[in-house]
């Protein structure tokens, strides 16, 4: 027999408008939407009903697996803890970032990320997870061993997104040395000489490895239809390179000109939801809200605070002229789903997966009241 659930008296956040009405779930999919109240449905008490959020870039799993420098937690326990917070934040599809490429002065060992990927696969097969977990490989192209790490994932179908990153000082995220100095000199207590040697080593590695590793990884992704993301693009040259490599997602551009050029080239421009909630970048780069006002912000990511993804759209709808709530929620639902080819989710549309979030927001911080994934209540 078909399984049917009716949710009524909700503000349905559609792709193009917000409508007071009802929604029918049948066998894990959205079967029907209608305006008005129906007597037989579960009363949503005029709460918002939004599509399940789609998270493309979060380092949150890493913080559970390695909660302190040098410490490793049980991988399944870390994953389940991460999953619980993700789902209770309204995220029903999450791309867990796994970091590939390390330096002699830090990073994960060969095989650790492969083990976490295997843990995700096991957790899925054992029905341990509330959200749908896929993998985003964060590839440090300036690391000499990044291709060795990537070899562990050449046949893994969980991988749907790869970002090409270069965190060497003097460019991209670290165009000025202020933040790099804070991250690596002040926090580590390095002397002037030790820091200078550290900077020179990172810059030499970038010059030696970045270009070739970037091209090899991009070719491998194109062959497997994996979405490619650029990272921290700062110049028009960076954007031109991204276009040549077939990049579909521009993560965290660090200049307005790079963001505008990426958007105009057809890439989805991604910025952090914490940037919106805080009112600016924690690292001193451009503000996501400024890009929204310019019409070149396409996707939001929770990055390091899962709950920011449900909070940020409400803030943008209130503070950016011409951006209503439906458009603001597209940044965390329909557009990220389309960017990575997940055409079965991301909107309240008949035939789509019944990934849904019931959220109440009268003022300030919203409250997530219920979450469904494929019609099953998971939070």
Tens of pLDDT, residue by residue over 16-32, are 999 999 999 999 999 99
Q: What's the mean pLDDT in 130-136?
A: 98
Residue 103 pLDDT exceeds 90: no
Residue 11 pLDDT exceeds 90: yes
Distance CA 21, CA 34 (A): 6
**Domain ranges, residue 318:** 52-345
pLDDT at 102: 75
In a domain, 78, yes or no: yes
Q: What's the mean pLDDT in 2-28?
A: 95
173-183: string of b/e by CB count within 10 Å (b at 16+)? bbbeeebbbee
In a domain, 261, yes or no: yes
Residue 205 pLDDT exceeds 80: no
3-state secondary structure of 136: strand
What tens digit of pLDDT does each residue of 333-342 get?
999 999 999 9
Distance CA 234, CA 87 (A): 33
Q: What's the mean pLDDT in 160-182?
A: 71
Residue 88 pLDDT exceeds 60: yes
CB-based contact 133:94 (threshold 8 Å)? yes
Distance CA 23, CA 61 (A): 33
In a domain, 12, yes or no: no
From the list 359, 363, 258, 234, the residue with the least C-alpha distance to 309 is 359
As beta bridge partners, residue 287 has none
Dihedral angle computed from the Cα positions of residues 374, 58, 312 and 260, in that order, rounded to the nearest 10 degrees: -110
Paired tokens of 362 = 């009268």
* 137, 144, 147, 177, 201 from 208: Cα distances, Å: 21, 8, 14, 21, 11
pLDDT at 110: 87
The number of angstroms, rounded, from the C-alpha of 293 to the middle of its chain's C-alpha atoms is 21
CB-based contact 94:132 (threshold 8 Å)? yes
Q: How confident is the model at residue 174 (pLDDT cuts 50, 70, 90)?
A: low
Q: How confident is the model at residue 85 (pLDDT cuts 50, 70, 90)?
A: very high
Residue 190 pLDDT exceeds 70: no
HSE toward the beta carbon, residue 263, CA cutoff 13 A = 20
In a domain, 44, yes or no: no
The CATH number of the domain holding residue 216 is: 3.20.20.140
Distance CA 192, CA 197 (A): 9
* 29, 271, 321 from 12: Cα distances, Å: 16, 25, 22
- The mean pLDDT of the chain is 91
- Residues of the chain with pLDDT > 90: what percent? 77
Count CB-CB contacts under 10 A for residue 4.
12
Distance CA 133, CA 118 (A): 12
3-state secondary structure of 227: strand
Q: What's the mean pLDDT in 204-218?
A: 88
In a domain, 29, yes or no: no
In a domain, 128, yes or no: yes
Lowest model confidence (mean pLDDT) among 63-72, 77-86, 90-99, 291-300: 63-72
Distance CA 69, CA 211 (A): 30
Q: What's the mean pLDDT in 325-330?
A: 98
Q: Is the pTM of this model over 0.85?
A: yes
- Structural domains of the chain, count: 1
From the list 297, 163, 319, the residue with the least C-alpha distance to 232 is 163
Residue 185 pLDDT exceeds 60: no
Q: What's the mean pLDDT in 170-187?
A: 59
In a domain, 369, yes or no: no
Q: What are phi and psi of 66, to 5 degrees?
A: -130, 75
In a domain, 32, yes or no: no
pLDDT at 109: 85
DSSP state letters, 35-68: ES--TTSEE-TT-EEEEPEEEEEE-HHHHHHSSS
**What is the chain's length?**
379
pLDDT at 271: 97
């Amino acid at each position: 027999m078909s399984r049917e659930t009716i949710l009524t008296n909700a503000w349905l956040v559609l792709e193009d408008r917000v409508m007071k009405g009802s929604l029918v779930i049948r066998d894990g999919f959205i079967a029907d939407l209608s305006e008005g109240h129906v007597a037989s449905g579960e009363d949503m008490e005029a709460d918002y009903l939004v599509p399940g959020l789609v998270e493309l870039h979060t380092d949150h799993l890493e913080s559970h697996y390695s909660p302190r420098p040098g410490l490793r937690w049980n991988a399944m326990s870390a994953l389940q803890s991460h999953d619980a917070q993700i789902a209770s934040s309204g995220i029903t599809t999450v791309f867990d970032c796994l970091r590939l490429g390390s330096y002699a002065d830090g990073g994960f060992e060969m095989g650790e990320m492969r083990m976490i990927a295997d843990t995700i696969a096991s957790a899925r097969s054992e029905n341990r997870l509330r959200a749908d977990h896929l993998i985003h490989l964060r590839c440090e192209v300036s690391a000499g061993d990044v291709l060795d790490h990537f070899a562990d994932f050449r046949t893994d179908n969980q991988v749907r997104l790869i970002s090409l990153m270069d965190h060497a000082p003097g460019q991209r995220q670290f165009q000025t040395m202020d933040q790099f100095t804070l991250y690596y000199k002040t926090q580590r207590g390095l002397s002037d000489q030790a820091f200078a040697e550290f900077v020179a080593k990172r810059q030499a590695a970038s010059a030696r490895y970045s270009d070739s590793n970037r091209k090899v990884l991009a070719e491998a992704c194109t062959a497997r239809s994996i979405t490619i993301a650029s990272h921290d693009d700062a110049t028009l040259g960076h954007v031109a390179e991204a276009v040549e490599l077939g990049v579909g997602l521009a993560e965290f551009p660090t200049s307005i000109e790079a963001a505008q050029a990426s958007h105009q080239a057809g890439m989805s421009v991604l910025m952090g939801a914490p940037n919106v909630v805080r009112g600016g970048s924690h690292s001193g780069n451009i503000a996501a809200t400024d890009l929204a006002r310019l019409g070149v912000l396409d996707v939001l990511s929770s990055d390091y605070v899962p709950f920011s993804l449900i909070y940020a759209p409400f803030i943008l709808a209130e503070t950016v002229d011409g951006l209503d709530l439906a458009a603001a929620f597209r940044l965390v639902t329909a557009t990220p789903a389309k960017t990575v080819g997940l055409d079965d989710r991301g909107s309240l549309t008949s035939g789509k997966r019944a990934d849904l979030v019931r959220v109440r927001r009268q003022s300030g911080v919203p409250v997530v009241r219920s979450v469904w994934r494929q019609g099953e209540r998971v939070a």
